[in-house]
Amino acid sequence: MSKHKLMLDILKDTRDYYAEDPDNRRSISEDGECCYTWGETHCAVGRYLKEEYQVENWENNNESVTELCDASPETWDIDWALREEAQGLNPDFWRDLQDFHDGRQHWIGADTYFPDNECKSIGLSDRGKQYYVGVEDNIVEGRYDE
């Protein structure tokens, strides 16, 4: 599978997975912090971590993709922490995927407040859709190619 196809598949899977139930599927701590793993949930990047890192007490659980790349034992990348099938992708893609998950403004949950009190459907917000398309464009245009 090409890297572009893999990134597009991961991006779409991330959108579809969290849009179904953002309140209960996003990996957010009781303090509102985004983590790779919280309870039984994982963030967009956390879903692709090696199993041994998908635990709350992992020392890097609340770090950014950049910090994970800095912790890499050999080269500056995140592959050391990812399952084999997700390795080889540009860290900027993983950073943008993490930002997609972490951005509260990208998701509409059951308790989302709307000033006009209209009932909105649960899922991806308009801002989230724009962010998604931006990442998709970056993939297609080769901006994550190394």
Phi, psi of 64 (to 5 degrees): -85, 170
State residue 34's pLDDT score: 85
The two tokens of residue 31 are: 């303090």
The 10 Å Cβ neighbour count of residue 91 is 18
Q: Which long-range contacts (CB under 8 A, 24 or more apart) does 18-21 make?
A: 18/44, 18/101, 18/107, 19/107, 19/122, 19/123, 19/124, 20/122, 20/123, 21/122
Closest CA to 65 of 90, 37, 31: 90
Range with lowest mean pLDDT among 76-85, 102-111, 135-144: 102-111
How sure is the predictor about 117, in pLDDT bands with cuts at 50, 70 and 90? very low
Position 33 in a domain: yes
In this structure, what token pair is assigned to residue 112?
A: 């989302």
Domain count, the chain: 1
Quote the CA–CA distance of 53 and 5 in Å, as a whole number: 25
Residue 127, domain member (yes or no):
yes
Judge whether 101 lies within some domain: yes
Q: Which domain holds residue 84?
A: 3-140
Q: Degrees (nearest 5) of the Cα angle 43, 44, 48? A: 100
Does the residue 12 lie in any domain? Answer: yes
6-15, 38-47, 100-109, 116-125: which is most confident:
6-15
**Mean pLDDT across the chain:** 90
Residue 8 pLDDT grade (very low, low, confident, very high; cuts 50, 70, 90): very high
Better-predicted residue by pLDDT, 24 or 119 = 24
For residue 120, what pLDDT is reported?
Answer: 60
- Angle between helical axes of 91-102 and 3-20 (0-180°, round to 10): 10
For tokens 């995927």, name the residue: 97
Q: Is residue 146, in this structure, part of any structural domain at all?
A: no
Mean pLDDT of 68-74: 90
Establish if 145 belongs to a structural domain. Answer: no
